[in-house]
Amino acid sequence: MREEGTLLDAGLRPTRQRLAILRAVAGQGKPVTAQELYSKLRGPRGGPGLATVYRTLRSLSDAGLLRTFPAGEGELAYRLCEPGHHHHLICERCGQVVEIPSCEVEEWAAGVAERRGFVATHHQADIFGLCGNCRAVEPRRARRSA
Ligand SMILES: [Zn+2]
Ligand SMILES: [Zn+2]
Ligand SMILES: [Zn+2]
C-alpha cells in the first residue's frame, strides 16, 4: 500500500487513523480544513473525532507529508504535495492549488541574498490569483452587481 510506505518513510507508524486521513486528504483536489475532513469522514458508523482529525493532520504536516495553506480566520487547510521543491498557484476564489514543478526563482533568490551578505538556504514562493474557471465567471458577476 502506497500510503503505508509514505508514512513509514516519514518516520510515522501507519496507524488506521493516519492512513484514513492521509488517503482522504490525497483524494481532494483542493486543500481541506480539519472541519471539512471531519465532516467527510463521518459515516453512518461514526468516524474520528474532530480533535483526532486536528491532531493527525498536524502530525502529518509536522512530518513534512502535508503542506498547509491559509484558509481564512486563522484556519489552516492541508494538502498532500509532491515531494521535492516546487511552487504553487493558488486560486483565491475556489481554493484550487496547482503545483509548479520547476523553480524559476532560484537564481534571483540566491542573488538577492548574496547582495545583502546572506547565503540562501531555501525559499518559498506561491502565486495567488484567480484560476481560469473563476476568471470565466467573474465578468458576469461583476455585471450583475453593477
Ligand atoms: Zn505542493
Ligand atoms: Zn478558482
Ligand atoms: Zn523555488
Question: Which bound ligand lies closest to the C-alpha atom of 137?
Answer: 2
Query: How far is it, in rounded angstroms, from Cα 93 to Cα 16?
Result: 34
The rounded Cα 82 to chain-centroid distance in angstroms is: 10
Instruction: Quote the ligand 1 centre to 66 CA distance (angstroms).
Output: 9
pLDDT of the residue at 110: 96
Instruction: Quote the ligand 2 centre to 44 CA distance (angstroms).
Output: 32
| pLDDT, tens digit (0-9, with 9 covering 90-100), for 50-98 | 999 999 999 999 998 999 998 878 889 999 988 789 999 999 888 889 9
Instruction: Quote the ligand 1 centre to 81 CA distance (angstroms).
Output: 4
For the four alpha carbons of 126, 124, 18 and 48, in that order, the dihedral sign comes to negative
State phi, psi for 88 to the nearest 5 degrees: -130, 145
Q: What DSSP state is assigned to residue 43? A: B
Instruction: Quote the ligand 2 centre to 58 CA distance (angstroms).
Output: 26
Q: Which residues neighbour ligand 1 (ion) by CB within 5 Å?
A: 81, 99
pTM: 0.78
Three-state SS for 116? coil
Q: Which residues neighbour ligand 3 (ion) by CB within 5 Å?
A: 103
Q: What is the mean pLDDT of residues 30-48?
A: 90
Contact call for residues 6 and 65 (beta carbons, < 8 A)? yes
Instruction: Quote the ligand 1 centre to 103 CA distance (angstroms).
Output: 12
Query: How far is it, in rounded angstroms, from Cα 38 to Cα 135?
Result: 30
Q: 126-129 and 87-91 as β-strands: parallel, antiparallel, unpaired?
A: parallel
Question: Which bound ligand lies closest to the C-alpha atom of 99?
Answer: 1
- Strand partners of residue 87: 100
Q: Which of 13, 71, 74, 23 is nearest to 47 (CA)?
A: 23
